[in-house]
Amino acid sequence: MRILVTNDDGAGAEGILVLAHAASVLGEVKVAAPDRERSACGHAMTLRDPLRVDPYPLEGFECITVNGYPVDCINVGLALLWPDGCDLVLSGINPGPNMGFDATYSGTVAGAMEGAINGIRSVAISMCPFAIGAPFHFETGRKWLEANWNWLLSLPNGQRTFYNVNLPAIEFEEVEGSLLTEMGRRVYEERVERREDPWGRPYFWQGGTLVAYNDVEGTDIMAVKDKFASVTPMSLDWTDKSALARAREVSAPSL
């Protein structure tokens, strides 16, 4: 199997090396990663600037860095590293959750999304600590992936599908199991925090305090909260099919 690995944390991040090792049991792994951290870049793409590529010494793997986003890494990586095709795109392992609406900001998820756009089976993987500063337990990520590759890669894959995996950042032995989930919601309060610089001028920090997980059964958030691995099939097709059906029943104004 031909595998392309990327992330949004840069080629030097711990999680990408763990992911490359975990994937090496499946076949030949090549890595194309950003040359710096690009977290929360979403599905951004570089259009107005040249993309520069450099070799990167990632132990045991052919690896390049790209001075762009995960999307750029996938497209440049496919062109340069796998010109004759690639069977699997993996993105991560991200040190932090990508659940609920947060997935839409995620560069990690965007890497998998770009793999799917290229018609390749794609998976994003993230570790979810339960407290700020708690360890990410990447070794749990590696063990979970190695134990679950066969299942994960046998899941149905439409032309617009990719998978978003979120793992509880705990000891592997403490993981309760794996659940197929849907995208939940996360609710933040004080999303924008106002501060003042030494001259009294205001500046703002965006981030916010996570105040509530919605306790809806079957969501990624609930699964991880209950110490299960969460596996969410995602779709490139953003159409709200139910709204579309109902919208078509509303008669349009006659011109």
Selection from 165, 219, 161, 163 nearest residue 187 by Cα: 219
User: Based on CB atoms, which residue is closest to Mn ion, 4 or 82?
Assistant: 4
Residues contacting Mn ion: total by CB under 5 A: 4
- Site for Mn ion contains 178 (CB under 5 A): no
CB of 9 to Mn ion, least distance (A): 4
Which segments within the chain are labelled E, that is strand?
2-6, 28-34, 53-55, 62-66, 88-95, 121-128, 161-168, 177-180, 186-189, 192-196, 202-206, 209-213, 228-235
| Burial of 119: CB neighbours in 10 Å, binned 0-12, 13-18, 19+ | exposed
Question: Going residue by residue from 82 to 111, which x/- string records binding to Mn ion, judged by CB under 5 A?
Answer: ------------x-----------------
- Site for Mn ion contains 9 (CB under 5 A): yes
Q: Which of 39, 126, 181, 230 binds Mn ion (CB under 5 A)?
A: 39
CB of 175 to Mn ion, least distance (A): 21
User: Based on CB atoms, which residue is closest to Mn ion, 106 or 230?
Assistant: 106
User: Based on CB atoms, which residue is closest to Mn ion, 82 or 109?
Assistant: 109
Inter-residue contact 109 to 24 (CB < 8 Å): no
**What is the spatial distance between Cα 102 and Cα 108, in angstroms, rounded to a whole number?**
11
CB of 39 to Mn ion, least distance (A): 3
Output the six-digit token pair for 254: 């006659």
Selection from 113, 128, 226, 234 nearest residue 178 by Cα: 226
From 35-43, 122-130, 171-179, 225-233, give the range in contact with Mn ion by CB under 5 A.
35-43
In angstroms, the Cα distances linking 254 to 205, 243, 245, 251 are: 47, 21, 20, 9
CB of 57 to Mn ion, least distance (A): 21
Residue nearest to Mn ion (CB): 39
User: Based on CB atoms, which residue is closest to Mn ion, 39 or 178?
Assistant: 39
> Which ranges constitute the DSSP H helices of 68-176?
70-80, 107-117, 138-152
User: Based on CB atoms, which residue is closest to Mn ion, 98 or 232?
Assistant: 98
Name which of residues 196 to 255 contact Mn ion (CB under 5 A): none
CB of 93 to Mn ion, least distance (A): 10
- Site for Mn ion contains 8 (CB under 5 A): yes
CB of 71 to Mn ion, least distance (A): 14
For residue 76, the one-letter residue type is V
From 2-10, 15-23, 171-179, 207-215, give the range in contact with Mn ion by CB under 5 A.
2-10
**What is the spatial distance between Cα 198 and Cα 215, in angstroms, rounded to a whole number?**
42
CB of 154 to Mn ion, least distance (A): 28
Q: Is 17 helix (H, G, I), strand (E, B) or coil?
A: helix
**Which spans of this chain sit near Mn ion (rule: CB under 5 A)?**
8-9, 39, 94
